[in-house]
Structure 1
Amino acid sequence: MSGSGTTAGDDPLQTAVWRLRSRGCWTDAAALLAHRADEPAAALERTGLLVERCLFTAEGWAEAEDALRTAEATAASDEERGAAACERGRLAYAATLLGMRDRADEARSALGRAAALLAPASPGRPLLDFRRGLVAEHLSDSPQAALAAYRRAHAGAEARGDALLLSFTWHHQAGLALREGELAQARHGFSECLRIREELGYLIGTAPALASLAACEPEPEAGRLREEAGRLFRLLGGVPVWLADQLRPQVPAQPGPAEA
């Protein structure tokens, strides 16, 4: 669930994990998986939750690193090792982006290792493509490479029915369109992202979608969207931490820089 952005049907444990994750309770969600941390799938899922916490809160780095080392140690197949490498790239990307420590080279290296380990038809490929797009856009300042990666991830998410990953690819493609002044295209992408997240009940990602959509709308609609985003932001305890600047009325809203 945590890695691909999908829930797991009627499995009570996965449903509980998803509900906690979607409300920003990553530590509680990870605790539900602690008793299975010696299983590769559960170890990886727990890592994904704790890395996402870092992206949204800029906290919990040591705990995420410990969980990641466990996932790497328990991985027994190329698929599992590739997925763990993908999470290491994500954690290094987050640390670099949020100013904790420059780990850009580590992020690129880990995602490259994941690409070598994951088969072309691997279910982890769309997520890997998305994260390589993030690195290209935000660490390498290469929007063209980022767009190509986001499009591959988008197609893969559609093929696999991964609705949450699809919301992320809509969001980041729309952000690139906004940078190019393509307001109609950006508005469509942000609207699709918001629609999916509302349908899934992914509350923690709804405020960033609202704030980004505000960038494409004139007043007073932009102000209404920022106000709604601000209400959710406060309700969820001020996360994601980087969203606060986007909610200021005097500053035009822009898509958040993280995986949102």
Structure 2
Amino acid sequence: MADTAMRETGLPGPEEPGGGGGSLGEDDDPLGRAVWRLRSRACWEDAAALLAPRAAQDAAAALRRTAVLTERCVFTGEGWSAAEGALREAEALATADEERGAAACERGHLAYAATLLGVRDRADEARSALGRAAALLAPQSPTRPLLDFRRGLIAQHLSENPSDATAAFQRAHAGAAAHGHRLLLSFTWRHMAAVAEHDGRLTEARHGFAESLRIREELGYLVGIAPALASLAAVLPDVAEAARLRAEALRLVRLLGGVPAWLAERLRATA
């Protein structure tokens, strides 16, 4: 099973505040800001309900709703059929290549997450969907960095090809920086740090985990802060500081009602 640094399975979806929202840009969209606030506080069902009226007719909103429901699956281990239904609706609304490519990227994400978390082996579907996304998305598409990131996860966890994974994470990191996708940057920092930790490059790992945590705190991505704290704690030489970070992570998990579920179990065991 994947470790603490990896269990988020490539979550960044197509919305975040401050201009980093992938191809959908929601700086001036009150609905997008409301969805972000709910999503970041683990209120995924409420966020999906807000999006539902627009998602019935608009491909971009349908894709956002899919991302929200998939994130709930990953953090709670529940709601897979709802996410699959939302994805089918998004796919039906997609017409332009960018929309179809983004929907294929979300299908690959959902299939990968189901495989990694042991729900059902959908590895072939994940690879096929991300390959389809790569064929549909233009080279300069703002969805490309997210696609690169998710292909890196497959290379790392399903294909066990660390060199391809690292190259994909680096492409995703550069693309996220170029497009201003700050939430995705927090994930690329996090996963490159996990690779460094695995290779024994602990100074590099500490830097990457600290950068990931900093971005999440600045964005107010509350549901993602506890995993970032736990990962940073694992590479700190100061035992007391590591314990303090784990205690703060456990406090946040309890505040959010026990999510992420996989992290709650691990933190309680070490408390």
Q: State the TM bucket, normalised to the shorter chain.
A: over 0.9
3-state SS of paired residue (2:160): coil
1:227 aligns with 2:238: no
1:158 Cα shift? 0.4
> How many Å separate the matches in 2 of 1:214 and 1:139?
27
1:248 Cα shift? 5.1
Q: Are the aligned partners of 1:214 and 1:225 in contact in 2 as well (CA < 8 Å)?
A: yes
1:5 Cα shift? 4.2
Aligned to 1:206: 225
Aligned to 1:187: 206
Aligned to 1:12: 30
Q: Deviations over 1:42-80 (max 9, x none)?
A: 111111111111111111011000000000000011111
130 and 6 in structure 1: CA distance in 2 versus 1, 3 angstrom threshold? farther
| Residue 22 of structure 1, aligned match among 18, 40, 57 | 40
Report the AA paired with residue 53 of structure 2: H
> How many Å separate the matches in 1 of 2:160 and 2:211?
25
| Backbone CA RMSD of aligned residues | 1.5
Bigger CA drift: 235-244 or 188-197? 235-244
> How many Å separate the matches in 1 of 2:130 and 2:195?
22
Structure 1: stretches of 5+ with no match in the other structure: 252-260
1:53-202 map, 5 Å: 53-202=72-221
Tell me the TM-score normalized by structure 2: 0.89
1:10 Cα shift? 3.6
> How many Å separate the matches in 1 of 2:128 and 2:158?
13
> How many Å separate the matches in 2 of 1:250 and 1:19?
30
> How many Å separate the matches in 2 of 1:118 and 1:133?
17
3-state SS of paired residue (2:14): coil
> How many Å separate the matches in 2 of 1:32 and 1:167?
26
Q: Are the aligned partners of 1:5 and 1:165 in contact in 2 as well (CA < 8 Å)?
A: no
Q: Are the aligned partners of 2:109 and 2:126 in contact in 1 as well (CA < 8 Å)?
A: yes
3-state SS of paired residue (2:171): helix
Poorly superposed stretches of 4+, deviation over 6 Å: none
> How many Å separate the matches in 2 of 1:109 and 1:14?
30
1:246 Cα shift? 3.8
1:190 Cα shift? 0.3
1:249 Cα shift? 6.5
Report the AA paired with residue 57 of structure 1: T
> How many Å separate the matches in 2 of 1:246 and 1:156?
33
27 and 165 in structure 1: CA distance in 2 versus 1, 3 angstrom threshold? same
Aligned to 2:21: none
1:231 Cα shift? 0.5
3-state SS of paired residue (1:113): helix
| Residue 53 of structure 2, aligned match among 12, 35, 43 | 35
**Paired residue total:** 251
Tell me the TM-score normalized by structure 1: 0.93
Q: Identity over aligned residues, as a percent? A: 70
Aligned to 1:239: 259
1:3 aligns with 2:14: yes
Q: Are the aligned partners of 2:17 and 2:219 in contact in 1 as well (CA < 8 Å)?
A: no
Report the AA paired with residue 36 of structure 2: W
3-state SS of paired residue (1:220): helix
